[in-house]
Each structure stands twice: as C-alpha cells, then as structure tokens.
C-alpha cells in the first residue's frame, strides 16, 4: 500500500467507479459551482474499501446548509430539512437518498442532540466523527483525504473511537451500540479490544437507557444479523451493556445457536441453499438470547407487528414434539428449521450432543423430515368442506381435522382421503 503523503492525500486504492454515476456528478457539479469543496465520507467510503454493498451516500461540504439549499434549487430534487439544525440536508434524486452535511464542530452536546458551529476546516469536522474509519474522506477526483491520519484503521478494519472514547460517547450515546455493531461486522479484525475503550463503555453503559426503543432495536437488529454477533455480544456482556438492556439472558444458548448455524452452512447447505432458510434471523437469535424476559419485548424494543408475532411464536415453543415431520407439516419449511435449531440449542448437554458421532446424521434426518412435512402440507387430502358434507359443523370440524392430520403424519403421509375417513370411523367407534 502506498504511504500517505504529507497532506494525507492519496489516490483511492479501491473501486470508486460509482463516483461517476450521473446523479452524483450532477450534485457535485452544482455544489462546487461557486468554489465549495465536496467530499464523500463515512459508510460509503468504508463499504467501498471492503467491497460491501451500500445504498445511501453521505457528503461533507465546507459551506452552510442554507447555502447548499440555495444551490440545489437549480436541479430537480426533493429536499428534506429535518436535520438542518445539525447541519444536514437529506436530498432525494431519482429515488436515491443523499445526505449532505456541512463541516461542523460541536459547541455543546446532549446525548443525541447538539449545538453545532459551521467551520471551513475538514480536520475539525473529522475530529467530531465517531470512529476513525468513518473519518476518511473521498474527494470528487477520487482521492482519499485523511485529515487525522487514520487510513490504516480503515485498511485493518479496526473499530476505534476518534480521540477520547468517553467524549465521543457523551456526545452521542448511540455510539455505544454502534461500536458493538461494527465489532459484529468486522469480527476477525477486532478479536481484541483496547482495555481503555471497554472500561469507558462499562462506565457509561447506563446511557443506553436514554436511547429510544427504535434506535436500540435498529442497532441491535444489525448486531444480531452479522457474522460476528457472538463476538459483539461477548463484549456487550463483558462491559455490562447487555445486562442494562436485558436483565435476564443466556449467552450460552445464543452461542449454541450460532454454532448450529455454522454447522448447517458447512455440512448441509454446501450448495449455498441456506439463503432460502433465513439463517442469521435476528428475531430467532434474540428469542434464544432472552432466557426469561420479565417484561413484554415491546417495552424494551420497538418491534413491528410481524416481529412481535415471530418473537412470540419462537418463545411459545419451549417444548414440542420431536416428530419433525409434524413440525414441518404444521409450520412450514423455514419455521420448521428454526424450531429445530431452537430445540437443539436449548439442550442442556449441547456440547456433548453435537460432538456425538451420529449428530450430523441426526441433523440431516431431522431436516429431511421437516422438508417432507412441509411438502406434504400442500397435499393433505381432506378439507373442511369434506367434513361439512359428512354432517360435521362448528368446532367439531377443526377438532376432527387436527386428529386426521396427526393420523396422516403418523402414516408417513401415505393414507388417501378414503383411508383417512375409514380411520375416522374407527376413531368414532372406539369412543
């Protein structure tokens, strides 16, 4: 890698072809038309270096938001001013979102809010950012501008606060959770974390309580969805943050689930078909993490209706039949697999169980049974109309259907409609 020049300016050593997209060129042309300096900063620069996908692009500029707004009147776009008091304008062009923030420094901070002063100095702007790899700028010529000399942290994927960790956290309490989110995103590069940082987070952990339920769940969902979620949660536990969020939890069961998912990917889904089964499901991972949640989850996190439904579904099944054909039949292939994972992850003898010689064979057999059950669900030969024609009505129909389904499952899905009705008669006689 080329060493940085004295002015901390180098040609970007990664693909930045997206910088030449039509809408970006339009924004750049209009915002620099009166001599302003425009930069891409933060997530899109980081993502480009690590060859990750990204949607939104954040710009930084050395003029005020009101000056930005005046310039943007010359192109067709939608301007959202909700962040203007903090120096940020959200701009939508052709359904693409761009955030344009003026260089600024904090005069006074209040956890998630601040009084800011605009500046013409890129170094001052960089000093108020959260992490060192988010304080790397990209100019419109495709050159990296590194005001604080932190490019090596981006190259290494190291998660480090800019300057004093405590100051950064007091400026914005959400940075505690963002720290763990990036740990989960880059686990291999962050197996060891600076003691001072961990100690600071431990000292400030209660500030998480001041965050909104929406913000907490947004960050936590990303943590739980990433490959390094177990690493992040270990450090969240070590610093006491996890305890602040959830007084009761089981990190061991959570790690068990992660181990199972890895086994599935390596041994059963070698062809990549695991994408069809929504592994790394944050709701599933959260449900097994929370051992005995004392208060309703919506009192702690802001769930949408579907998330509440799924969380309650997974937590409902502490115990259920080991007949995985039945599980697949009743709940489908995706849910069936998730219930299987919960069933195994919650085993008290988990470590010995997965080390047994026949474990992988068992896992594959259970998975096939779930698939068979899910496939059979579509082919169940009896419906409510059939029972109506036989003179059944009301609650009796539902009750009989459940009995017939169980009979059909026990038969290995081999009985036809006529044979099931004969079984029904036998049941009636025996009663």
Our CA dihedral for 172, 176, 178, 181, rounded to 10 degrees, sits at -170
pTM value surpassing 0.85:
yes
**Whether 375 and 391 share a structural domain:** no
User: Which of residues 135, 158, 181 is at a domain's end?
Assistant: 158
**Whether 288 and 359 share a structural domain:** yes
**Whether 349 and 407 share a structural domain:** no
pLDDT-derived band of residue 271, with 50, 70 and 90 as boundaries?
low
In order of 65, 79, 172, 295, the CA distances from 82 in angstroms are 12, 9, 18, 33
Angle at the Cα of 96 from the Cα atoms of 92 and 101, rounded to 5 degrees: 55
Residue 317 domain-assigned (yes or no): yes
Decide if pLDDT at 43 tops 80: yes
Hey, is 106 helix, strand or coil?
Answer: strand
Domain count, the chain: 3
pLDDT of residue 10: 85
**Whether 320 and 391 share a structural domain:** no
Decide if pLDDT at 177 tops 90: yes
Residue 35 domain-assigned (yes or no): yes
pLDDT in tens, 143-161: 999 999 999 999 999 999 9
pLDDT of residue 392: 86
Residue 53 belongs to domain spanning: 9-158
**Whether 302 and 415 share a structural domain:** no
Token pair, residue 77, equals 């776009």
Decide if pLDDT at 408 tops 50: yes
Residue 84 domain-assigned (yes or no): yes
Decide if pLDDT at 4 tops 60: no
Angular region, 95: left φ>0, alpha ψ -120 to 50, beta rest: left
**Whether 402 and 338 share a structural domain:** no
Q: Which of 24, 89, 99, 28 is nearest to 59 (CA)?
A: 99
Residue 270 domain-assigned (yes or no): no
pLDDT of residue 276: 61
User: Which of residues 158, 181, 203 is at a domain's end?
Assistant: 158
**Whether 353 and 412 share a structural domain:** no
**Whether 20 and 36 share a structural domain:** yes
Residue 318 domain-assigned (yes or no): yes
Average pLDDT over the chain, rounded to whole? 89
Strands (E) in 131-211, as ranges, are 137-139, 143-145
**Greatest mean pLDDT among 212-221, 271-280, 417-426:** 212-221
Residue 252 CB neighbours (<10 A):
11
pLDDT in tens, 60-109: 999 999 999 999 998 899 999 888 888 899 999 998 999 999 999 877 66
Residue 211 domain-assigned (yes or no): no
> If you search the block for the tokens 């002063």, which residue do you land on?
117
**Whether 289 and 421 share a structural domain:** no
Q: Which long-range contacts (CB under 8 A, 24 or more apart) does 12-20 make?
A: 12/48, 12/138, 12/142, 12/143, 12/144, 13/144, 14/48, 14/49, 14/51, 15/48, 15/51, 16/48, 16/138, 16/142, 18/48, 19/138, 19/140, 19/142
**Whether 421 and 368 share a structural domain:** no
User: Which of residues 158, 183, 203 is at a domain's end?
Assistant: 158
In this structure, are residues 84 and 65 in contact, taking their beta carbons and an 8 Å threshold? yes
Token pair, residue 313, equals 């579904």
**Whether 350 and 400 share a structural domain:** no
**Whether 76 and 153 share a structural domain:** yes
CATH number at residue 116: 3.30.460.10
pLDDT of residue 2: 37
pLDDT-derived band of residue 357, with 50, 70 and 90 as boundaries?
confident
Residue 338 domain-assigned (yes or no): yes
In the predicted model, what is the mean pLDDT of residues 1-29? 79
Residue 306 domain-assigned (yes or no): yes
């Amino acid at each position: 890698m080329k060493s940085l020049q004295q002015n901390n300016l180098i040609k970007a050593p990664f693909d930045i072809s997206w910088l030449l997209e039509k809408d970006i060129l339009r924004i750049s042309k209009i915002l620099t038309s009166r001599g302003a300096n425009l930069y891409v900063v933060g997530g899109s620069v980081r993502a480009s270096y690590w060859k990750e996908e990204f949607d939104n692009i954040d710009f930084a500029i050395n003029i005020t938001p009101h000056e930005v707004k005046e310039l943007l009147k010359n192109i067709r776009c939608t301007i959202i001013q909700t962040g203007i008091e903090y120096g940020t304008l959200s701009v939508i062009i052709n359904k693409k979102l761009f955030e344009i923030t003026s260089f600024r420094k904090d005069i006074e901070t209040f956890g998630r809010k601040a009084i800011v002063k605009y500046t013409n100095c890129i170094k001052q702007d960089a000093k108020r950012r959260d992490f060192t790899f988010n304080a790397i700028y990209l100019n419109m010529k495709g050159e990296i501008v590194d005001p604080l000399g932190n490019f090596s942290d981006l190259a290494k994927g190291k998660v480090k606060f800019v300057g004093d960790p405590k100051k950064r956290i007091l400026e914005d309490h959400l940075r505690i959770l963002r720290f763990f989110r990036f740990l989960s995103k880059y686990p291999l590069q962050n197996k060891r974390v600076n003691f001072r940082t961990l100690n600071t987070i431990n000292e400030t952990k209660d500030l998480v309580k001041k965050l909104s339920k929406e913000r907490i769940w947004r960050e936590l969902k990303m943590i739980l969805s990433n490959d390094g979620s177990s690493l992040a949660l270990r450090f969240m536990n070590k610093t006491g943050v996890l305890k602040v969020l959830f007084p009761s939890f089981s990190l061991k069961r959570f790690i068990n689930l992660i181990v199972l998912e890895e086994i599935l990917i390596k041994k059963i889904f070698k062809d990549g078909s695991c994408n069809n089964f929504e592994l790394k499901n944050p709701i599933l991972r959260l449900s097994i993490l929370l051992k005995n949640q004392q208060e309703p989850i919506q009192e702690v996190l802001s769930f949408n209706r579907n998330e509440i439904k799924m969380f309650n579904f997974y937590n409902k099944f502490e115990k259920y039949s080991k007949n995985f054909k039945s599980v697949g039949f009743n709940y489908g292939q995706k849910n069936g697999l998730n219930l299987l994972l919960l069933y195994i992850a919650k085993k008290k003898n988990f470590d010995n169980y997965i080390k047994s010689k026949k474990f992988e064979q068992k896992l594959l057999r259970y998975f096939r049974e779930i698939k068979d059950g899910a496939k059979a669900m579509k082919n169940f030969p009896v419906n409510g109309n059939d029972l109506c024609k036989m003179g059944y009505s009301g609650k009796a129909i539902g009750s009989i259907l459940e009995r017939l389904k169980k009979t059909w499952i026990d038969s290995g899905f081999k009985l036809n409609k006529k044979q099931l009705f004969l079984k029904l008669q036998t049941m009636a006689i025996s009663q």
